[in-house]
Structure 1
Amino acid sequence: MPSSQSLHSATAAGTPVSRARLATLTALAMLAFAGNSLLCRVALKATAIDPATFTSMRIFAAAAVLWLIQRGRTGQPRSGADWYAALALFVYAAAFSYAYIGLPAGTGALLLFGAVQTSMTGYALWSGERLHARQWCGVALALAGLVGLVLPGLAAPLLLSALLMLAAGIAWGVYSLRAKRAIDPGAATAGNFLRALPFAAALSLLMHAHASADRAGVVYALLSGAITSGFGYVIWYAALKELKASSAATVQLSVPLITGLGGITLLNEPLTSRLAVSAAAILGGIALVIVRRLKAA
């Protein structure tokens, strides 16, 4: 999921679009990002595919789709790649897959989103940015929500899975910080997925003794890579040409909520009071931070 701090580099001038088309593009992008969690969770819960194979197939499918799109746009694909960003992208994808062995879809998406935004806010503070009192309240509220979500208890997620998802969120925050300077975010994303392929291949080779897959698992992995990752980013960058930065940041708050609803309705996951309270704290806290920051910018 693109972070709120990578928005300015993606808002290149483009042809104006109608409000209806903009709303459609934005909704499709949010559904795609939520779909990543749902597809990964159902694949690892209900099929025979292992996390390493899922990760490799997802990265391969996304790289192939984005390469073809870039080739169609420019006649010759531009990499725009960064090996450090590609490594962060791989770490995100691998930790994401392994985390969903033991996490419900909604809980995973909430931990991921909270870790991304919290880690990037931490980097901003380390870089010298100052927060207002309301933003500090937002940081404290979001951190309290994250801690409350993973504290031991009957409704707590598996600790190892939760830590892996937090690691995935931090890795995505690092990726966003590396990629936000890109002049052409689409080209940079395509190049980084291509450069993530060797890391994915190494993971599959390392874990070959545990490799397994079936037709359904392969289909879910390819859909996650080609549709909800590859085409998802293309749609999102198209929407970003017209969205205000504050609107783009705020609308991303819907992704964990969409994922949670999808997990409840499609995967029969329970809605616990712990999840509901944590979601309100994390998303509310992040909203206090990012909206004020983008308005100031």
Structure 2
Amino acid sequence: QNFLETIADEILDNVDRDRLNAQSARIKDPIRAADKLRRKIAEGRITEPTSVDEVVDALGDLIGIKVLCKSPRDLHAFVDALERACRDPKCSVRFAKEPMDYVAFPKPSGYRAYHAVLLVRVATHQGDLDVKVEVQVKTRLQDAWGELTHEDMYKPGEALKPTKAHDDYARQMADLLLQVDRMADDLAAQLDSQTAVSKDAVAQPSPVPKDSEIISARVTRTGPRYALAVGPDGRRGLIPARSVKAVIGAKDRIAVDDFLEVGDVVQVVVEDTEDALYYHLSSQPRSKRPRKRRT
């Protein structure tokens, strides 16, 4: 789990960390594991195991972790980073078998996710052991699809058998949610363009009209790339990272929430454009930050 969280941290360095969540982990219930093993034997998919190692080999999902992504672009970025790491000879975590990409090649049911079984070296009193961990990477909407279609009730070995109507609805819902995922990506790209951090050595303030109004605004929300603040008239404006970077004279990339936090009152220049209402800092924040960066 720490390995996956580290990958997420590296991908979203200086960006909204909530876009990736690798905190959903579970160990398979022993009774359910035994049921699955018996079902595989009855279906002729495996021979009856005679050792603990054979049981572990037959059940690759005894330990599972779900990585939920805000949108497809985050999913693809995470999968690319995971594959680079696990195929690196220097990495202690590696693939137990080739991953299954049901995002690129969905199941007939409409199910979409990226599945990988990792071999993780664990120190025990018997020495180092390779433990299999199943990782499922999916968007939040792909995860919701399983709940909305009651997928767990129709899995092999469960009481209900899917009808044609159920299958048709499930595929239609999967296609609709895919469209919503793609729309979310488009909106995220638009937001990125409006809150882009300048790559200049020292960012230059955005040009605003000379007669622009300077007001006091209270910060109501803050993050790595921008902050939101409300003015005396109740309107909420966007304080982009480039504005903060220009005022403090930073040479490197910054995180806005290292300099502004909720409740701060700042002096800003108002720029009302067709795309957004911007609040550009007119002076350095009064607080004594930057605070210590998150680790």
Point out the structure with the larger strand share.
2
The TM-score, its normalising length taken from structure 2, stands at: 0.24
Q: Which structure: larger Rg?
A: 2
Q: Which has the higher contact order (CA 8 A, sep 6+)?
A: 1
Provide TM-score, normalisation by structure 1: 0.24
